[in-house]
Amino acid sequence: MQGIDRKYPSHRTSIQQGRAAEFLALAILRKRGYTVFRSTGSDSLIHLIAWEDRNQPIFVRVKRARRPVSGAADVMSRWPGEIEQLKHLPLAVGGSVQFWIYFGQQGWLIYEVLPGGLAEVKD
């Protein structure tokens, strides 16, 4: 059997798609002038760390959605454990945690993770 059975994609395919989303986010941040480091740990809570010159760092978690995302409440219900962990990350004053979601037809949705929930980041 050659090729990938599209009806039953492998776990490896899902991982590759997730990494592709990470690299897209990395490219966007670099294009905006950020210096960016990518975490290589598959179990890492943070995928990217980015900063501009003397600004505080942004810690980014990247996800790829299989269906459209309808807002912060939808994000909280789909990824509650991850959001809860991100809320409790210790940060320096001025630093932020962001949750980036890629869905092909919608493009990128970006949320800042705050102690009380999520706030959409407008470009």
Which regions of the chain are under pLDDT 70? Answer: 1-18, 42, 123
The tens digit of pLDDT for each residue in 10-44 reads 444 444 455 788 999 999 999 999 999 998 776 78
**Which are the contacts of 14, defined by CB distance < 8 A and separation ≥ 6?**
none
pLDDT attached to residue 17: 54
pLDDT attached to residue 47: 94
CA distance 119 to 73: 10
**CA-based nearest residue to 30, from 5, 60, 6:** 60
Could you tell me the two tokens for 68?
């459209």
pLDDT attached to residue 18: 59
pLDDT attached to residue 71: 93
Cα dist from 108 to 24, 105, 116, whole Å = 10, 9, 22
pLDDT attached to residue 2: 43
